């Protein structure tokens, strides 16, 4: 049973006030709030088992190592990877994409092509541009239509034998568009191109099955799925992870070091140089347990209700335009909007005075804003712990802001 009041009670921050009003947190696309189970587990780790991992013979080091590796296995099961060693701990989505892009520097030749989409976060654009500068590879962009959806026929035209890697998001952070990634992956594989999926916005809403998707890499951030900041996961197929060179050199990632030659450790340690965010990795597992206990079916049902309700209510406001798919089954609980003649930033400031947290600006996706010829949008992104009452507050807040600003 999904009991929203019980769920909300799990998140201490949701009961605080902002500017004298109850907090309405609609910036979940930027980072999620954390349940008490996660917050407590952080203290528990430092109170009870803090030690460095994979090195000590002593009891605490064993306990910390066991907890860290148990979390890795938990995450493997969550995304249905075939092997635990295909699950690499990272500091987040950005790090994961950079790791893969850097690895491809040893594979690409001048004239090879990398495909990204016009819907990407800067994190899934810039690392590939850097890679192009290093290798002479060429970056090509899958265009979008007026609804903020990828144009698949154009994608098929762009794919060629020169395409070596396709990097697209599962869900757009700026518009909420749910991309047909299974079809994208299958088409890329017909050309033997590798596919990296940026799952930063998808993992808060759904459980990806990397074997069913058959993606070569899947990356996401812990902080967007109720876990700590500075945590993330890079899933990579074993064959690719064996092929790519290490990203960073240091302790933990070696088998044998001499000044003549160093050999690398087996997966996953080859890509995990140095002391990692041990507590973060362990607590990321706790966050995933929490989400699974709530249930992704319940999460989706609640968020779909919020999306439909908020879309209907906001569209009643004259001059308000929502960017992104109009078919709500093709997007997640993100509403990116503008009001005629009003700068999004000004709306955000007024909403904050009322305790309502939204994001304004380009959402690290400037090419999307250029496509729509706008400086940015107001983005309200919902989570399963939000309510219709909070949406009513948003709608009346936006109406008030519109009155004050026009």
Which residues would be at the binding site for ligand PLP (CB under 6 A)?
92-94, 121, 123-124, 169, 173, 198, 200-201, 221
Residue 323, strand partner residues? 336
CB of 390 vs ligand PLP, minimal distance in Å: 22
How far is the C-alpha of 311 from the C-alpha of 251, rounded, in Å? 51
Least distance from ligand PLP to the Cβ atom of residue 340, Å:
27
d(CA 320, CA 193): 41
What would the two tokens of residue 102 be? Answer: 């850097």
How much helix, strand and coil, in percent to the nearest 5, is found in the chain? 45, 20, 35
First to last CA, the chain: 45
Q: Got the DSSP string for 42-72?
A: HHHIIIII---SSS--SHHHHHHHHHHHHHH
Nearer to ligand PLP (CB atom), residue 112 or residue 279: 279
Taking the complex as a whole, how short is the minimal distance between the CB of residue 234 and ligand PLP, in angstroms?
A: 11
Nearer to ligand PLP, 27 or 272 (CB): 27
Question: Taking the complex as a whole, how short is the minimal distance between the CB of residue 331 and ligand PLP, in angstroms?
Answer: 13
Q: For the CA atoms of the chain, what is the radius of gyration?
A: 22
Instruction: Supply the minimum distance, in Å, between the C-beta of residue 94 and ligand PLP.
Output: 3
185 vs 354 by CB, closer to ligand PLP: 185
Residue 89 pairs in a beta bridge with: 233
Helix (H) or strand (E) holding 233: strand 232-236
**Closest C-alpha to 306, from 382, 210, 405:** 382
Least separation in angstroms between CB 379 and ligand PLP:
11
Annotated active-site residue in 132, 215, 226, 364: 364
Comparing CB distances to ligand PLP, the nearer of 127 and 268 is 127
Which token pair is 96? 């994961």
Token pair of 291 as six digits: 């989400």
Strand ranges for 296-361 from DSSP E: 320-323, 334-339, 356-357, 359-361
Active site residue 373: no
Q: How far apart are CA 133 and CA 139, in angstroms?
A: 10
Catalytic residues: 364
């Amino acid at each position: 049973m999904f009991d929203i009041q019980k769920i909300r009670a799990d998140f201490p921050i949701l009961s605080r006030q902002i500017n004298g009003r109850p907090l309405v947190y609609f910036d979940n696309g930027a980072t999620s709030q954390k349940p008490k189970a996660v917050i407590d587990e952080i203290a528990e780790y430092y109170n009870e088992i803090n030690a460095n991992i994979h090195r000590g013979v002593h009891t605490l080091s064993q306990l910390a190592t066991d907890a860290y590796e148990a979390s890795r296995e938990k995450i493997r099961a969550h995304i249905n990877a075939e092997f635990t060693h295909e699950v690499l701990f990272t500091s987040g989505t950005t790090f994961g994409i950079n790791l893969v892009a850097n690895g491809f520097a040893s594979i690409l030749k001048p004239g090879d092509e990398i495909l990204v989409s016009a819907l990407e976060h800067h994190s899934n654009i810039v690392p590939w541009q850097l890679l192009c500068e290093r290798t002479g590879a060429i970056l090509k962009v899958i265009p979008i239509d007026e609804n903020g959806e990828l144009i698949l026929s154009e994608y098929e035209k762009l794919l060629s034998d020169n395409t070596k890697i396709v990097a697209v998001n599962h869900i757009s952070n700026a518009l909420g568009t749910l991309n047909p990634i299974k079809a994208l992956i299958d088409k890329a594989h017909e050309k033997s191109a590798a596919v990296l999926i940026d799952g930063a916005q998808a993992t808060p809403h759904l459980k990806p099955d990397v074997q069913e998707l058959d993606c070569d890499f899947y990356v996401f951030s812990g902080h967007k799925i109720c876990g700590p900041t500075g945590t993330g996961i890079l899933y990579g197929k074993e064959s690719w992870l064996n092929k790519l060179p290490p990203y960073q050199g240091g302790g933990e990632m070696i088998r044998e070091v001499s000044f003549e030659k160093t050999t690398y450790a087996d997966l996953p340690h080859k890509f995990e140089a140095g002391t990692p965010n041990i507590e973060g990795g362990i607590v990321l597992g706790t966050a995933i347990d929490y989400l699974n206990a709530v249930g992704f079916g319940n999460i989706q049902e609640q968020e779909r209700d919020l999306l439909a309700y908020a879309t209907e209510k906001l569209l009643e406001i004259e001059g308000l335009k929502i960017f992104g798919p109009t078919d709500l089954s093709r997007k997640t609980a993100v509403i990116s909007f503008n009001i005629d003649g009003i700068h999004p930033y000004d709306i955000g400031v007024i909403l904050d005075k009322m305790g309502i947290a939204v994001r304004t600006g380009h959402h690290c996706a400037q090419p999307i804003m250029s496509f729509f010829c706008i400086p940015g949008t107001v983005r309200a992104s919902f989570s399963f712990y939000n309510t219709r009452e909070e949406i009513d507050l948003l709608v009346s807040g936006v109406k008030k802001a519109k009155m004050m600003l026009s």
